[in-house]
Amino acid sequence: MPKTPLPLHRIQKPPMTPQRLRRLMLIASLVLLAVCWTVLAMLKPATQGKIVLTAGAPGGIYYNYAERYAQILKRDGITLDIRSSSGSVENFQRLREEDNEFQVGFIQSGTGNSEQAPGIQTIAAISYEPIWVFYQGAATFDRLSQLRGKRISLGLPGSGLRIVANDLLTENGITTNNSTLVELNGSTAYEQLLNNKIDAAFFIGRADSELIHTLLNSGIKLMSFSQADAMVQKFPSLSKITYPRGATSLINDKPSHDVTLLAATAMLVSKESLHPALAYLLLDAANVIHNAPDFFTPRNYFPNQNIEDFAISDETRRYFKSGRPFLQRYLPFWLANFIERRFTILLPFIAVLFGLIQAVPRIYEASMKKRLVVWYKEIHLLEEEIWNTDAPSEEKLTEWHNEIEEIDSNANQIDIPQRYYGDIYALKQAIRVVRDRISEAAHQREITTTSPSPQ
């Protein structure tokens, strides 16, 4: 059974001329940009103008650091909200809790680790915190185990010093069962040492801090750790450092020999949710504050990422490898952050637009081809019917003739770019072939009808 031919007189769509294509692309681009900008206007700012930092006790080294950070961050329009605490332990507890306002803080190495707080990351190791053990008595001590049976101050509860001192003493066999362990702040411990109310005390702090400077000039003995190498192996959060001969006083040759000390490392840490742009600002501030040399480290030793208590932030790794992000090197922070923010959000839209730009020519070409394919289908169906009809009637021949002329007329009205003229001529050639077939069928019918009938 012959297939029903497609209807003729198809409505041709307006041609997709280059000018019309450019207009459509311009309109699409403007609409896309308008949508992007609307989304941007509805979004919250990428960074907040305030960082909440948990420091330490007012007047302490951590609190003093925080005040210096605040001054530097203020230049970029960031307010550092400094919150006091009892020390490293409380700072750690605050930052390990997800649902509170604390974002950044100072923690002493050995206070915690990534297993206990996977949501904390290290921004930078910022300084050594020397551990000093001062003691009274005629004997010279160079091992903690020699303090067995003595009255010893460990530091205040909640402080990083308290944790380190207790761990070190326990490892050396000193406990509350065989010694008197008390918890005193630095000033009180110093006074009780002077008055022989205690025999030894742990202190922590820089050599140039007021309390340590006073102790070094007081005549109270300072322990040099003869077993420091073994102790840092047992306690990886500690480092071995040397307080050099004459560092307290060259004139008086104090101390009269190099003193081997242990040191914890102060770390600037944050929650993983801290915005990367703020992390870079904190790293810049750390580089200004902590890169000076001292008795224990050369210039630019700190800040660094040589610490393993918590995971190192991605921003820290990039910062120490290649410095600040490109835009932040040359533009003010707010402008660099604005551009980075917009670029990050616009990037998916740009990718979509790029895909559309690449797709439009293919769509356009398919549209042009479709205009020709419609008439090729008409020709194919007509030709198929001609081949399947053995003896067409006069009416059928007339119908075929009208159809092919209708197709030819419509083909002449197709408006397509010059590059597709070859396809038009190929279509006309196909029309000519079918027209010849119709003429041949008509001629064959004429021969058949005029031939005499057999007698």
Digit-coded pLDDT (tens) for 328-356: 665 565 555 555 655 666 666 677 777 77
Tell me the average pLDDT of the chain: 85
Q: Is 333 part of a structural domain of the chain?
A: no
Same domain, 313 and 188: yes
Task: For 222-258, write each residue's pLDDT tens digit.
Answer: 999 999 999 999 999 999 999 999 999 999 999 999 9
pLDDT digits 0-9 by tens, 268-321? 999 999 988 899 899 999 999 999 999 899 999 999 999 999 999 988 998 888
Measured torsion, CA atoms of residues 24, 30, 33, 35, in degrees rounded to the nearest 10: -90
Domain boundary among 291, 324, 357: 324
The mean per-residue pLDDT over the stretch 205-209 comes to 91
* Residue 449 or 149, more confident: 149
When pLDDT is cut at 50, 70 and 90, the band that residue 5 belongs to is very low
Give pLDDT, residue 421: 75
Could you give the CA distance from residue 133 to residue 202 in angstroms, rounded to a whole number? 5
Query: What is the pLDDT at residue 59?
Result: 86
pLDDT value for 1: 41
Judge whether residue 152 has pLDDT over 60: yes
Quick one: 54 and 28 in the same domain? no
Q: Could you give the CA distance from residue 236 to residue 109 in angstroms, rounded to a whole number?
A: 9
Residues 29 and 64 in one domain: no
In-domain check, residue 140: yes
In a domain, 5, yes or no: no
Q: What's the pLDDT at 424?
A: 78
Question: Going by C-beta distance under 8 Å and a sequence separation of 6 or more, which residues neighbour residue 249?
Answer: 217
Task: Assess whether 166 and 269 both reside in one domain.
Answer: yes
Position 25 pLDDT exceeds 90:
no
pLDDT value at 431 more than 70: yes
Residue 11 domain-assigned (yes or no): no
Beta-strand ranges (E) seen in 299-358 are 311-312
Please report which residue ranges of 262-332 form alpha helices under DSSP H: 276-290, 314-322, 326-330
Q: Which domain holds residue 441?
A: 18-33+345-448
Residues 303 and 365 in one domain: no
Work out the pLDDT band at 81, boundaries 50, 70, 90. Answer: very high
Check whether residue 90 and residue 219 sit in a common domain. yes
User: Are 353 and 298 contained in the same domain?
Assistant: no
Judge if 25 and 61 occupy the same domain.
no
Identify which of 341, 338, 343, 349 has the alpha carbon closest to the alpha carbon of residue 33: 349
- Using an 8 Å Cβ cutoff, are 131 and 263 in contact? yes
Look at the chain and report how many structural domains it folds into: 2
In the prediction, which pLDDT does 9 show? Answer: 40
* Statement to judge: residues 278 and 232 lie in one domain: yes
Q: Mark which of 324, 357, 372 sits at the end of a domain.
A: 324
283 and 178 in a common domain: yes
The verdict on residue 117 lying in a domain is yes
**455 vs 379, residue with greater confidence:** 379
Residue 353 lies in a domain: yes
Do 175 and 284 reside in the same domain of the chain? yes
What is the SS3 assignment for 355? helix
Pairing of strands 50-54, 104-108: parallel
Q: Is there a domain that residue 40 lies in?
A: no
Which one is predicted more confidently, 165 or 425? 165
Are 317 and 350 members of one domain?
no
Could you tell me if residue 121 is inside a domain?
Answer: yes
